[in-house]
Structure 1
Amino acid sequence: MDEQLDFAPCGYVSLNDESTILDINKTLLGLLDYKLQELQGQHINLILTHASQTFYQLYFFPMIRLQEKVDAMYIALKTKSGQEIPILLNASRNKRGGKFFNDCACFPMKERYEYEQALLAAKKETDQRNQMKKKQIEELGMLRNELECKQNELLELNEKLRTLAETDGLTGLKNRRCLQESLTLNLNSQAGQLQPISLLLMDIDYFKEINDTYGHMTGDRVLQEMGQLLEEESRKEDIAARYGGEEFALILPNTDKSDALKIAERIRLHVEKANWGKSAITISIGAATLQPGDTESSLQSKADNALYASKNGGRNQVTHASDLT
């Protein structure tokens, strides 16, 4: 303890959370007629009157833990000879070296009446608190259970909202916004690594004619079944999404050009051979594989160009961006 604090015009004592006296200045030692070695390491109760011990446990300790400070608390100290000294106590809770300290400044009171009145009021309130303790514990338990239920309901609602925010309502696949985020995440996670990433963009051939001929309800059913087909053809790590309208996309992590073309061709054949009811359905597919310097935007642009090449080349075929001149 530095000399200024040691001889400050008020008492100072520092306690840990077990109410053990860690340090005390000479001003307070002189007031209590103790030596440092007699108090250091002792419980604070050694220098508290009996009534103040109860007051300390019920008010001071909970308040310092909850509010991290105590302002203008009236309490009584006991000297070595047993003399009672009323004081005004201010305290703050501080962290030093990873440990908490409860630092207290003690001001001897000139007016004792106010202290005694506060102590009597504290005793009365203590009696009332003891009577209400069981009821408060029960109410606290009920509130805790209610809070846990509300928290669980909120977590479930947040999960539902998150799912709705990233899911296409018609097909159940991821929506385009989620696709963009997933593509960005995959590209960032693979930055500087050797694992390839491929992207497939797919478009249902002559979809407008399906809507015009059989109606939009049939068109919606085709989109739903196409979404289910893509889910069935996707691997666990793949991300299938509705890109927009009759267009779909498939992110293929850890997939090079050769494997991307195999997957795309398998999907194309599955669509071609599937039973669509009134009309045969085919798709055109554009594929692109990440190259050094590519971004999510450039990768999508390459796949889009490959898709247009498939459609312009007669539809119902697969084209890889790297094969375009």
Structure 2
Amino acid sequence: MVFMEGLDLITRLYGLALVCMSLLIWSYAVLVVPATCQWKKPGVGFVVPFVIGVLAVAMGKGTDITSSYIFAEVAGMLVVAGLAALGTRLMYSPELVAAVLGSAGLFSWVWFSMSSVRRFLIYQNPHFLWLPFGWLLLLAAIQLARTRKWPDWGTPTVILAASYPGWLFLSGNRLFLPIFLKTLGLVWLFACMYREAVRVSQAELQQARTVLEDFERAVGREVKLRMLELERAKQRLADKASTDALTGALNKKALLQEIDSLLVARDRDVFCLLMFDIDEFKQLNDKLGHVAGDMALKRLSRIVKSSIREGDIFGRYGGDEFIVVLPHTPLSDARLIAERIRQRVENDKTGPPITLSMGLAAYPLDGETGVALVKAADDGLYLSKSKGRNRVSHVRTEQNEQ
């Protein structure tokens, strides 16, 4: 009598522990497990045995408490096991027939579990308690024969958890086995749920990290592109501010700045200036019009740019007057470059014939300031005009020759 009372107390305590464990698994499934996890629905289904178990214990009286809880837990586990079986089979196999057969086998197996409990309670026949375990092995064998691999651990775990309520009525030294196996089944299910939740969370985290990296790369590319466009826009503005709109040569301000930069350079090497204008440009404008005059200036600019070297500086000083700055160039080489430009302009046949009068100035021979050098080159230009135009002149050289 004392033994049976102790057994009944142990059974009640164990039933209460299972209720709490069911609530724990349900809470974890609802609050933690991602929606994409295959264990989400089975975990949420644990609220069924929790609610039914609490109602059974609350409404049971005397010895009915144990039996009512056992039947209630079996009924609750039926829902959980069905959700697990349907979820795993539909996830890993697209065949609806396999899912239906698996669920039907599960329902029939749980019926055996309930039948075993009932027969034991009524007829005190413990042999029927082995039927659920045998049916579990049979389902595993069928699954193994059909797929040539061991069944997915999730479904057998839920089935195992649903099978052992009937084993709680085993007495004597066999009581430890069902208690241990039932607890092991629930813990195993919780572990499966936890591993799957971690896997899904890590996958989502990796996906989020990949999206973030792609976003950062896209933003980086966009920033670089915008910076490049900004630099180009700044360069265009700078070019526009320093370039003559008609000829594309430097304007007067930018040209004088280039001359000053050569004068303040550390090496202060020799350089020369070529100053020239179009002979009888006013008559060309009056005769052919200002449009023809503008075309002549553009043509002159094109010829000069193609005749000077990389690093030489070409600018429009004003009106039809232009200056070419020749860094690191002695006077003798500057005269050769000036003659090349003059001859190419004279021989050009792409428009009305034009010629140039040119003046030379050398640093430091003709001056050590920008103003002095420009004046010396301008004097050479007017010397060329006074001697018949279409020629190159250097005032100091021609004075020495006289």
Alpha-carbon distance in structure 1 between the residues aligned to 2:398 and 2:266: 25
| CA positional deviation for 1:140 | 5.9
Aligned residue among 153, 162, 169 for 2:229? 153
Q: Is contact 1:183-1:296 (8 Å) kept?
A: yes
The 1:208–1:150 alpha-carbon spacing in structure 2 relative to 1, beyond 3 Å, is same
Aligned residue among 379, 385, 402 for 1:305? 379
Q: Is contact 2:357-2:392 (8 Å) kept?
A: yes
Alpha-carbon distance in structure 1 between the residues aligned to 2:347 and 2:213: 68
Deviations, residues 14-55 of structure 1 (Å, cap 9, x unaligned): xxxxxxxxxxxxxxxxxxxxxxxxxxxxxxxxxxxxxxxxxx
Aligned residue among 286, 307, 312 for 2:359? 286
| CA positional deviation for 1:178 | 1.9
Aligned residue among 317, 323, 338 for 1:243? 317
Deviations, residues 148-194 of structure 1 (Å, cap 9, x unaligned): 332222112112112222222111222222211211122222645xx
Give ranges in structure 1 of 5+ residues lacking alignment: 1-131
Q: Which residue of 1 aligns with 2:60?
A: none
Q: Does 238-247 or 205-214 show the bigger shift? A: 238-247
What is the letter of the counterpart of residue 290 of structure 1?
Y
| CA positional deviation for 1:138 | 7.3
The 1:236–1:133 alpha-carbon spacing in structure 2 relative to 1, beyond 3 Å, is closer
SS in 1 for 2:264: helix
Deviations, residues 271-294 of structure 1 (Å, cap 9, x unaligned): 2222153x4211100100112661
| CA positional deviation for 1:134 | 9.1
TM-score by length of 1: 0.53
Q: Which residue of 2 aligns with 1:273?
A: 347
Alpha-carbon distance in structure 2 between the residues aligned to 1:186 and 1:306: 21
The 1:205–1:150 alpha-carbon spacing in structure 2 relative to 1, beyond 3 Å, is same
Q: Is contact 1:170-1:220 (8 Å) kept?
A: yes
Q: Which residue of 2 aligns with 1:214?
A: 288
Question: Which structure's residues are more often strand, by fraction?
Answer: 1
| CA positional deviation for 1:214 | 0.6
The 1:269–1:139 alpha-carbon spacing in structure 2 relative to 1, beyond 3 Å, is closer
Q: Is contact 1:222-1:276 (8 Å) kept?
A: no
Alpha-carbon RMSD across the aligned residues, in angstroms, is 2.7
Q: Which residue of 2 aligns with 1:187?
A: 263
Bigger Rg, which one: 2
TM-score by length of 2: 0.44
Alpha-carbon distance in structure 2 between the residues aligned to 1:202 and 1:305: 11
Q: Is contact 2:270-2:328 (8 Å) kept?
A: yes
Aligned residue among 252, 265, 271 for 1:197? 271
SS in 2 for 1:309: helix
Deviations, residues 35-92 of structure 1 (Å, cap 9, x unaligned): xxxxxxxxxxxxxxxxxxxxxxxxxxxxxxxxxxxxxxxxxxxxxxxxxxxxxxxxxx
Q: Is contact 2:272-2:363 (8 Å) kept?
A: yes
SS in 2 for 1:218: helix
Q: Which residue of 1 aligns with 2:201?
A: none
Give ranges in structure 2 of 5+ residues lacking alignment: 1-207
The 1:138–1:226 alpha-carbon spacing in structure 2 relative to 1, beyond 3 Å, is closer
